[in-house]
Structures are given as structure tokens and as C-alpha cells.
Amino acid sequence: MSGFDLGALDAESWHRILAGLAVTCKLAAVSLVFASLIGIVVGTLRWANLPVLRQITWLYVEIARNTPPLVQILFWYFSASVLLPAWAFVPLRDAGYEFSAAALALSLYHGAFMGEVFRAGLNSVNAGQFQAARALGMSFLQLMTRIVAPQVARITAPPMVNEAVALVKSTSLALAIGVAELTYQYKHIDNFMFRGFEALMVITIIYLTLCLALSLFGRLLGHRLSRPRGSAPGQAAA
Amino acid sequence: MGAVGAPTAPAGAEVVRLTGIWKSFGATMVLRGIDLAVSRGEVLALCGPSGSGKSTLLKCINGLELVDRGEIVVGGHRKQFTRFGTLDPRIGMVFQSFNLFPHLDVLQNLVIGPRLVIDTPRKAAEERALAYLERVGIADKAHAYPETLSGGQQQRVAIARALCMEPEVMLFDEPTSALDPEMINEVLDVMTDLAGDGMTMIAVTHEMGFAREVADRIVFMDAGQIVESGPPEEFFQSPKEERTRQFIGKILRH
């Protein structure tokens, strides 16, 4: 055992770690955007309880929530050659679609959880709010955006941020299909430079920092949203 | 007192006419052929045991509930409501549980309808809102949030919010049922004041004092039908129907 020595990580290793961090951030950001969109759409559809769409969205949510995220990543990566026609698959393969497959899998996996968060948020808005807004003559779109959405945002912000933290952690699974993210770079440093322990410490601290920062942001957001803005009497309204 | 919504119909003209209203929830028949006409300036108290369909009837007038059969005419226009459709802003409604928007302060609660629905300029909408807050006696709470107000204050804000749309008719769905006893009167006072100003009102209420003093007509419903309808003195002193007598006997016992 050679002992722990951060100085033993050479310039190339540091370069790889930074490049991996960039890929991790990009994968997390892209997946987060799509997962949120999926969550909002699926959550709203599940809440609205429309025929046919209800069964379809239910099936999606149950499949996505009850299979391992790693299996889902492998599925989207290795099924592309089967699911897609050759004219679509070949250019995709040549361009490299590991990143896209991982982003798709993570978006679908976390989108299902976010959909449930969002549905619960919509359910928590009192039916009287809809009646009052409609009685004032608001259109359905107006009542959803001006009355329902602000109340849902307040309730769902903390669990949505929790899901974002989970998503950042799941990006490490993308190493299984060769996405050069942070954990992939650790494996490379371990395999070829034999400085696995040091590299592992560094990426652990990076993940910890990312996730703690996100949680902190979530807590601040929760605090800010949990009380209506300027609720002190006498404060000017916007 | 400030002017109540500019009437489009002359006094005495019909503001609301319901003809042959039938409505069921699943297998339960809630309304069985209701006919009702309300004239401009009339104050109508809708009474009856719980489950008699009075709240449902009220919600059919502005389209919050859809009827199975029957015709609804408000302000001379025949209404065709749909499940997600936009409702008529000139039919004001006040709910049992207030239903103020918790993420908006009092002034914003009052301004959002006129701003979004009838494109009122902000300044005009705020001036009108403050005038109505003054009228319901809580101008000092313009920038408070609903959760910081008492039930009676919240209900008065809700009344002001409906008035800001300059309604032709106001629907009240048990407006005092969720209030502590000491707050009931402050809401009834506002309603009495409105009635005195000529507002057309339909109120589902258990407040027999209010019905007796303020209403022009009492409509008694039971099991989805109108059993009896008439001026308060007649209703209380010489009810024609046995079911009405039983009902009055029960509520006036204490």
C-alpha cells in the first residue's frame, strides 16, 4: 500500500477529472431539464385523470419507477440498434450516442418520480381554488398559470430538488455505457495510472459538494416559497 | 356607498331564469325539475335541509356544475356551459370556505380578476379594489395575506373580490356556515348593506334572521325540488306545505 498522496495525481489525471466533471454537469443539466418537463406533463395528465392517457401514463410511471436505473440506461443504449431503422441508427452510432442514451434514460427514470411529485402537488391544491378562479371568469390556462402553478411550486420545490440531487448521483451510472463522466474518469485513472484511491477521494468530494450545494439551494428555495412574499403587513404589493 | 355594478337590465327585469333544471351525480338525482326566476334587485334566500340540492342549484347558475337538462338564462343570454369553459365574470360568487388565493395579498386577490378577465388598467383596478375594501370595512388589510385574517375578514374580502368584477347578480353559498358565531354578523351586515343598495342576490343560507329581515323571497327546497316559495312573513307565519312546517319547526325550536 503506497499511502494517500494527492500530489501523486499528475496533470493528466487532474485534466481527466475536470473533463469528467464537465460531462457530469452537462448530463445532469440536460437530464434535469427533460425530467422536469416530463414530470410536469405526466404529473398533470395523471392528475387530470383523462381516459386512455391515464392508463398510458400509469404504465410509464410504474415501469420507470420499478426497474433499476442502470438497466434502463443499458436498455436505451443497446436497444437502439434494434428499435431504430438502420438509416437512423448508423449515423447515430458513428456520432456516438452514449450521452444521448444516458440522458434519455435518466430523464425518463427521474421524470417518473417528478411526475408523482407534481401530481401530489396538484392534488394538494384545494378544489375551492379552481372554483373561485373560474367563478371570476378566468380561462383554464389563466387559472392554471396564475392560481394553481404558484401554489404547486411552493409545495413541490423541496421534493423536486431532492429528485434533482438523486439525478446528479445517478449520472455516475452512465459509466456503464462509456459516457466519459466523473466516475468513468476515476475508473480510467485507476486502471491506467494506478492512483485509484486518490482519484476516488477527489470525485467523492466533488459529488458531495455538488449535491450539498443543490440541497442547500433547495432549502433556501423552500424557505423563500413557504411564506408568501412580503407577508408582513403594510409591505407594498408587486 | 359606491355604486354597485352598472346594471344592464332595468329594475324589475329578470336577471336569472332557470327552466326545468335536472341534475344527477351518478345514480343520485340532486335536482328534479327546478323552475326559478329572479328579478333585478331581488334578494332571494334559498333554504332547505342539507342534501336538498340548494348549493348544487346555485352552482348550476354560473356553470360550476353542469346540468343534465334544462335552460339557464342570465342577463337575457342563454348559457351553454362546458366542463373547462370560461364562466361569466358578471355572475359573482361567494363560497362557504372563502377560497381566497393564499399566494396573493388582499389587494392582489381583488385585482387579479379585473386585470386578467376584463383587461382593467392596473390603476383603475386597484382604485376600485380599495373602494370595495373600504365598503366591506377592511381597507387597512389591503396588503395582508389571507392566512393572517380572521374568517369573517376573509369572507368580507371574498365578497369584495366578487364585487370588483361588477357583477349583475351575486351568488352566496352558505357564506357564514364556516364562521365562528361572533363573526357571522360582520358578514351578514355587508350582505344586508349590498341588498339595500339594490344588488340582485341569491343566497343559500341557514341564517333565518337574515332570510326574514333582508330577503324579498324565501325559496324552500327539499329532495331536489322547490317545495314552497314566498315572502318571508308568509313563509314563516303561514307555510302552505307540511314539509315547510316541519323544517321551520326544526330550525326555530331553539
DSSP, residue by residue, A217-229: HHHHHHHHHHS-T
Residue B202 forms contact with A (CB below 8 Å):
no
Pick A137's closest partner by Cβ from B99, B105, B117: B117
pLDDT of residue A36: 96
Pick B116's closest partner by Cβ from A138, A233, A234: A138
Q: What is the mean pLDDT of residues B138-162?
A: 95
How far apart are the C-alpha atoms of A144 and A217, rounded to whole Å?
26
Shortest Cα distance, chain A CAs vs residue B91, angstroms = 7
Sheet containing strand B217-222, edge to edge, reads B91-94, B169-173, B200-204, B43-47, B217-222, B225-230
ipTM of predicted assembly, 2 dp: 0.90
Residues in chain A with CB shorter than 8 Å from the CB of B102 are 151, 228
Rg (CA), chain B: 18
Residues in chain B with CB shorter than 8 Å from the CB of A147 are 101
Cell numbers standing for residue A160: 423536486
Residue B63's φ and ψ, nearest 5 degrees, are: 90, 10
**pTM of the model as a whole:** 0.82
Dihedral of the alpha carbons of B119, B125, B129, B131, in degrees to the nearest 10? -130
Residues in chain B with CB shorter than 8 Å from the CB of A135 are 62, 64, 87, 91-93, 162
Nearest chain A Cα to B162, which residue?
A136
User: Using CB atoms and an 8 Å cut-off, which of residues 12-31 of chain B contact chain A?
Assistant: none
Picking from B200, B244, B253, the residue whose alpha carbon sits closest to that of residue B219 is B244
pLDDT of residue B76: 86
pLDDT of residue A2: 55
Contact A137 B100 (CB under 8 A): no
pLDDT of residue A88: 82
How far apart are the C-alpha atoms of B251 and B254, rounded to whole Å?
7
Helices (H), chain B: 54-62, 106-117, 122-135, 151-163, 181-196, 208-214, 232-237, 242-251
Residue B6 has pLDDT above 80, yes or no: no
Residues in chain A with CB shorter than 8 Å from the CB of B100 are 132
Nearest chain B Cα to A137, which residue?
B89
pLDDT in tens, A98-119: 999 999 999 999 999 999 999 9
Q: In terms of pLDDT, which residue wins out, B227 or B51?
A: B227
Shortest Cα distance, chain B CAs vs residue A125, angstroms = 10
How far apart are the C-alpha atoms of B225 and B29, rounded to whole Å?
10
Q: Rounded mean pLDDT of chain B?
A: 91
Beta-bridged to residue B93, according to DSSP, are B171
pLDDT in tens, B202-243: 999 989 899 999 999 999 999 999 999 999 999 998 888 999
Contact A131 B92 (CB under 8 A): no
pLDDT under 50: residue ranges of chain A:
1, 230-238
